[in-house]
Amino acid sequence: MQLNWLPLREDWDALLRSVKGMGPAGVGLVLRDLAGSRMEFSQMGKLDRAFTRAVEACDGAIPGLERVKLAILGSATISHLPPGIRVAGLRRGLQIDVYEAPYGMYWQELIDQASGLHAFAPDVLLLALDARHLAGAEGSTEAAAMELMRSCWRQARTQFQCQVLQQTVMPVFPNLMGDNEERLAQSPAAIVAKVNERLRAESEAEGVDLLAVDRFAAAEGMEFWYGADFWHRSKHEVHPKATAIYGDHVARLIAAGRGKSAKCLVLDLDNTLWGGVIGDDGLNGIVLGQGNGNGEAFLDFQRYALGLSRRGVILAVCSKNDEKNALEPFEQHPEMVLKRGDISCFVANWTDKAANLRHIAKSLNIGLDALVFADDNPVERALIRQELPMVAVPEMPEDPAGYVATVAAAGYFEGLKITDEDRARGQLYQANAERERLKDTVTDMGSYLESLRMHLIAQPFDSVGLTRVTQLINKTNQFNLTTQRHTEAEVTALMRNPKVVTLQVRLLDRFGDNGIIAILVARANGAEAEIETWLMSCRVLGRNVEEACLNVLVEQAGALRVRRLVGIYRPTEKNGMVREMYRTLGFELTETEESGATRWTLNLEDYELRPVPMQVEVVREAAV
């Protein structure tokens, strides 16, 4: 049941045979393709040998693969581990060259400057110490085990400045007491549990990343991970059949250490985030939420995606749907866990999904190899695997109850470090919560707004903000007067046109930076300037940001010797909330078109700057 997120490939054996006699040019891609498919134990061995031969035929380096030197140091048999690691590296575009230290000689190899390990000079060092070695002897203690590992880590780090991976201790010992084993201090099982606990607490400070075999064993069953017969016969602690998954975990840690973990989860909608087809079944017909087994399974998958997004994984949607239908559950279904705001790039149309994934990667400014595409439809999955082999496409099970486990087991989003962003994100959430709390305690709106100590910064578009500006222009639906979409190239053209006023508006308050929250574009034409785009994030509604923006716009338009501002409202399904905005801001209605669009005018001569409850800073020169 291992590697079950990988697809089966009917022609696997034939494809492997074709590797023989291939030149260096295409061989890397074919091998990577083979490694990305599900395989049996003996197939893994065959692939590993074909790979090793190809490396030799290419004089040591297969073109297109990134080389990593991994040294494995162990206290028992480790010779069965490299094939699974090499194949899993291949799966991620890595050529992992493995050095195995001689049996049991991890310490000697570390300290002896003349050792094979020193000649090899690893980029990554994996320390795989077996449970008996650490906790099985008479007089073993958790402190001694920790001290031993710590000395190894320090040697490794000072000698090689490499990434250090520490295998956690496999829980191979029986309980002597039973369920309350930890009460018996000298119990080997208890020592293993304590050592693993301390590894989790102390490894980060030592710059060491854990390979959590104890957790895999707990999740997948000890009998799969460890066979006492193999231990007794040949000192294999990791069961040979578990080496494929063991290797995959090693490779994902190595890949994560090199910034190669996936960054974005792209989600299909119908039968992936909810049951049924929103376009046919409608808002009330789709299966989602409490009271229905499948409905809860879809909710669970949404919660998983939300959890990923909270730790920095970008979420995107790629669905064959009319956009209006696709958005409806996000905006109206009471059980939806994912909201429109959680999705950084929302693509719902009838274009093929390969083109849409390219668009998503481009608009998020990440590589296609940073995408993971979750779709219940095997046809779509096959299309993407064929058209965009660099996109990770998990083989979703038929039952939605298995979606979470499948995507999670694949380890696409392996993370090693808590980033500053992760911390900032945590703070941002907290700040939002505090803002809400403050709202509850201050009853007078004016003093509430004053108490926020808002600081608004308006500046012309610049190349730094270009991606974010384009993103907002293309995703903002509700507070958007014209819903005028633009490509990044079009936005650049606006930015460079001297007759166009562009503004990107940032808002800070006592709780933090809200980022860019409003975009305005006005084009001067004779005595008038027409506001082509005015959009705002709904997060800052009710804070007089509109008035502050208008103040800035009036001033900037005045500099172009314009006498009137013309505002346009074009109704869509989503933007009803701003139908009357121009009236509220003191514009006069001059025209109502048949389509429902309205034109409004504001004479600048009569305009008096509005008092606003914030400090306004205008940056004039674009930092291009």
Partner 1 sequence: MQQAEIYERLTQTLRDVFDDESLVATPELTAHDVKEWDSVNHITLVVAIEEEFGVKFKTAELEKMKNVGQMAEAIEKKTAA
46 binds partner 1 (CB under 8 A): yes
| 383 CB-contact burial (10 Å; exposed 0-12 / middle 13-18 / buried 19+) | middle
The span of 38-46, 501-509, 534-542, 560-568 binding partner 1 (CB under 8 A) equals 38-46
86 binds partner 1 (CB under 8 A): no
Separation CA 324–CA 477 (nearest Å): 11
Separation CA 374–CA 36 (nearest Å): 16
Closest CA to 19 of 42, 59, 64, 52: 52
- Name which of 72 and 545 has its Cβ closer to partner 1: 72
| 514 CB-contact burial (10 Å; exposed 0-12 / middle 13-18 / buried 19+) | buried
Pair 214, 171: CB distance under 8 Å: yes
Residue 10 makes CB contacts below 8 A (sequence gap 6+) with none
324 binds partner 1 (CB under 8 A): no
Separation CA 512–CA 515 (nearest Å): 9
Give the H or E element holding residue 39.
none
- Name the token pair of 338: 């994912």
How many C-beta neighbours within 10 Å does residue 576 have? Answer: 10
Out of 56, 59, 138, 229, the residue judged to bind partner 1 by CB under 8 A: 229
385 binds partner 1 (CB under 8 A): no
- Name which of 229 and 440 has its Cβ closer to partner 1: 229
**CB 240 → partner 1: shortest distance, Å?**
5
- Name which of 236 and 574 has its Cβ closer to partner 1: 236
- Name which of 230 and 607 has its Cβ closer to partner 1: 230
What's the helix, strand, coil split of the chain in %, to 5?
45, 20, 35
80 binds partner 1 (CB under 8 A): yes
**CB 72 → partner 1: shortest distance, Å?**
14
The span of 190-198, 224-232, 383-391, 527-535 binding partner 1 (CB under 8 A) equals 224-232
- Name the token pair of 449: 């707004």
- Name which of 79 and 525 has its Cβ closer to partner 1: 79
Separation CA 570–CA 581 (nearest Å): 12
C-alpha angle 419-422-428 in degrees, rounded to nearest 5: 140
| 422 CB-contact burial (10 Å; exposed 0-12 / middle 13-18 / buried 19+) | middle
Half-sphere exposure of 32 (CA within 13 A, CB side): 20
Half-sphere exposure of 450 (CA within 13 A, CB side): 7
Out of 7, 45, 276, 389, the residue judged to bind partner 1 by CB under 8 A: 45
The span of 136-144, 228-236, 333-341, 380-388 binding partner 1 (CB under 8 A) equals 228-236
Out of 11, 40, 352, 593, the residue judged to bind partner 1 by CB under 8 A: 40
- Name which of 80 and 385 has its Cβ closer to partner 1: 80
The span of 210-218, 226-234, 331-339, 557-565 binding partner 1 (CB under 8 A) equals 226-234
Long-range CB contact pairs, 472-475, < 8 A, 24+: 472/516, 472/519, 472/535, 472/537, 473/519, 473/533, 473/535, 474/363, 475/344, 475/345, 475/346
Position 19, amino acid: V
The span of 42-50, 200-208, 264-272, 330-338 binding partner 1 (CB under 8 A) equals 42-50
11 binds partner 1 (CB under 8 A): no
Q: Parallel, antiparallel, or unpaired: how do β-strands 314-320 and 345-349 relate?
A: parallel
- Return the bridge partners of 98, or none: 70
**Cα 289 vs. chain centroid, distance in angstroms?**
25
Out of 42, 441, 443, 595, the residue judged to bind partner 1 by CB under 8 A: 42
**CB 246 → partner 1: shortest distance, Å?**
14
20 binds partner 1 (CB under 8 A): no
- Name which of 41 and 107 has its Cβ closer to partner 1: 41
Position 12, amino acid: W
**Where does 452-499 show beta strands of DSSP type E?**
454-459
- Name which of 79 and 365 has its Cβ closer to partner 1: 79
104 binds partner 1 (CB under 8 A): no
Pair 602, 587: CB distance under 8 Å: yes
Out of 233, 417, 499, 579, the residue judged to bind partner 1 by CB under 8 A: 233
- Name which of 229 and 594 has its Cβ closer to partner 1: 229
- Name the token pair of 235: 């000192």
43 binds partner 1 (CB under 8 A): yes
- Name which of 232 and 620 has its Cβ closer to partner 1: 232
232 binds partner 1 (CB under 8 A): yes
**CB 238 → partner 1: shortest distance, Å?**
12
**CB 229 → partner 1: shortest distance, Å?**
5
SS3 591: strand
Separation CA 436–CA 83 (nearest Å): 54
Out of 26, 49, 433, 485, the residue judged to bind partner 1 by CB under 8 A: 49
444 binds partner 1 (CB under 8 A): no
Out of 74, 240, 329, 460, the residue judged to bind partner 1 by CB under 8 A: 240
- Name which of 132 and 236 has its Cβ closer to partner 1: 236
Pair 191, 201: CB distance under 8 Å: no
- Name which of 46 and 320 has its Cβ closer to partner 1: 46
- Name which of 81 and 452 has its Cβ closer to partner 1: 81
**CB 194 → partner 1: shortest distance, Å?**
32
Residue 385 makes CB contacts below 8 A (sequence gap 6+) with 7, 391, 393
615 binds partner 1 (CB under 8 A): no
- Name the token pair of 141: 């203690």
230 binds partner 1 (CB under 8 A): yes
Size, binding site for partner 1 by CB under 8 A:
17
234 binds partner 1 (CB under 8 A): yes
The span of 35-43, 173-181, 264-272, 556-564 binding partner 1 (CB under 8 A) equals 35-43
What is the 8-class DSSP label of residue 416?
-
- Name which of 42 and 284 has its Cβ closer to partner 1: 42
**Where does 44-101 show beta strands of DSSP type E?**
66-74, 94-100
- Name which of 231 and 448 has its Cβ closer to partner 1: 231
Separation CA 312–CA 314 (nearest Å): 6
79 binds partner 1 (CB under 8 A): yes
Q: How far is CA 44 from CA 17, 66, 97, 485, 528, in A?
A: 14, 20, 17, 49, 71
**CB 231 → partner 1: shortest distance, Å?**
10
The span of 110-118, 236-244, 493-501, 593-601 binding partner 1 (CB under 8 A) equals 236-244
**CB 137 → partner 1: shortest distance, Å?**
24
What does 268-295 look like in DSSP terms, one character per residue? --BTTTBBS-HHHH-TTTSB-STTSHHH
- Which parts of this chain interact with partner 1 (CB under 8 A)? 40-43, 45-46, 49, 79-80, 229-230, 232-234, 236, 240-241
